Amino acid sequence: MREAVNKGEALVLNYHHHGDPSSWCVAICARAESPVELLDLGGELRELAHISGVGGSEDACVPLMSSLAHELLGFYQLRLSPVIYKNGDPLPEEPE
């Protein structure tokens, strides 16, 4: 994690399950793109850490991953908040 952060890689929190929708995990991933390229949300993810049993439902994705993103932002003093994915796809943007 520290090496990816030191390189300025963007972090992605991929909330997902492995076939059982009652048991969710998070893969903390890195992308080496610049912040401008990050807006496109393309590119391959490199898994840095995998945490099993994080949530019990799809509905828990936003609150749990938002909380984790907040903690990582402070702990690693990130410039950009981690992007949240669900099952490998970025979450749609909230309408303003």
Domain containing residue 73: CATH number: 3.10.20
Does some domain include residue 94?
Answer: no
Does some domain include residue 75?
Answer: yes
Does some domain include residue 93?
Answer: no
DSSP summary character for residue 18: S
Token pair listed for 64 = 């749990």
Binned at pLDDT 50, 70 and 90, residue 16 comes out as: very high
Q: List pLDDT tens digits, range 56-88.
A: 999 999 999 999 999 999 999 999 999 999 999
Does some domain include residue 50?
Answer: yes
DSSP summary character for residue 94: P
The string of DSSP codes covering 34-85 is -HHHHTTT-S--EEEEEEEEEESSGGGHHHHHHHHHHHHHHHTT-SSPPEEE
Does some domain include residue 7?
Answer: yes
Average pLDDT over residues 11-36: 86
Cα–Cα distances in angstroms (integers) from residue 51 to residues 16, 29, 87, in the given order:
10, 11, 14
Does some domain include residue 63?
Answer: yes
Average pLDDT over residues 14-18: 95
> How many domains are there within the chain?
1
Residue 43 domain boundaries: 2-88
Does some domain include residue 40?
Answer: yes
Does some domain include residue 54?
Answer: yes
pLDDT number for residue 33: 60
